[in-house]
Amino acid sequence: MPTAVLEGLKKHPVKISAVSSMLDSGGSAGRDRKLFQTKVSFGDIRRAALALSGLPNRQKDLFRYRFANGTSLANAYCTASVSAMGIEALLEDIKEDLRIAENYRVLPVTLDDALLCAELENGELVRGESNIDRPKHNVNLKIKKVFLYPEARAYQPAVKAIEKADLLVLGPGDLYSSLLQLLLVRGIPEAIRKSKAPKVYVCNLMTKLGETNDFSVSDFTSEVEKYLGEKIDRVIFNKGECFASKMASYKKEHPELLSMVRFSDTLDKDKFIGEDLLLETGPIVHDSDKLAKTILNLCSRQ
């Protein structure tokens, strides 16, 4: 579950189980995954843990510190803990060392070693999350489907957390290289479909080069529903405007981001909940407080 959702919700009296993708192959997390043969990577789970952490900001910043080779202190910590004592010890250590409250949990979606792959519309295969995230192929080719090789099984505590949840929130996040990783793990979509909890999808703010070129809110939703195998109950999307000057400045730092996600005024308003979800100043990201308010308002409607 992304930082924006967690940082907003933790300001309210709720229980949170954050299920994180574990199959990144790029960056320092992916490199350490291969080098130390941990089977999985820890980038997303450490970000979730830091979002829920009760540590002072100074200590959180220390945990985010990166060495000269790009490895973060947090990733080194996770890798060492798993290599020495296993995933259960890591989860216990994270909770204690990062002062994560008793009513919060971070959980891996899987512990299996698998590769995220994509088939493009021309039949070309792209192997590895990093090659989908930062494409070296023709970025104008649409992704036909994504899959895991070999198949990965769900971490059972994550399945149980999903089955017991009162509300299930998916996204936001890179559609093919991050979010759909979760729905490709055997046991996860089945658990979500089995759950009677409302299913909420938080749509991305911007489209991404090589993944979601020119996607609309409906396009994002359709892809999530295809891999879930069931309709989403509610979709939260941004309808706040972004000034051209702010967009130009942000895209200089993030050239892979293309434009704000399109939406239609004819969307079913019972299912699609449009709000201004942008930060007033700063980067083009979700305002965590606005997002939490919108999510919790949905709960009160049930």
What angle separates helix 73-85 from helix 87-97, to the nearest 10 degrees? 140
Cα dihedral angle (188, 193, 196, 202), rounded to 10 degrees? 70
Q: Please answer whether residues 12 and 296 qualify as being in contact, where contact means their C-beta atoms are separated by less than 8 angstroms.
A: yes
Q: Name 94's Cβ contacts closer than 8 Å, sequence gap at least 6.
A: 45, 46, 49, 78, 100, 106
Q: In the chain, how many domains are there?
A: 1
Give the pLDDT band (50/70/90) at residue 302. low
pLDDT at 1: 56
DSSP secondary structure, 214-227, as one string: T-BHHHHHHHHHHH
**Residue 271: HSE in the Cβ half-sphere, 13 Å Cα cutoff:** 14
Residue 2 pLDDT exceeds 90: no
Determine the structural domain holding residue 36 and report its residue range: 3-301
For 216-234, the pLDDT digits (tens) are 999 999 999 999 999 999 9
Q: Please answer whether residues 85 and 52 qualify as being in contact, where contact means their C-beta atoms are separated by less than 8 angstroms.
A: no
Strand partners, 125: 119
- Looking at residues 125-141, what average pLDDT do you find? 94
Query: Other C-beta atoms within 10 Å of 74: how many?
Result: 25
Strands 234-238 and 206-208: unpaired
SS3 annotation, 70-126: CCEHHHHHHHHHHHHHCHHHHHHHHHHHCCECCCEEEEECECCCCEEEEEECCCCEE
* Type of residue found at 146: V
Q: Give CA–CA dist 91/42, Å, rounded.
A: 11
Give the pLDDT band (50/70/90) at residue 38. confident
Q: CATH number, domain at 219?
A: 3.40.50.10680
Per the confidence metrics, is the pTM higher than 0.85? yes
- 3-state class percentages of the chain: helix first, strand second, coil last, to nearest 5: 40, 20, 40
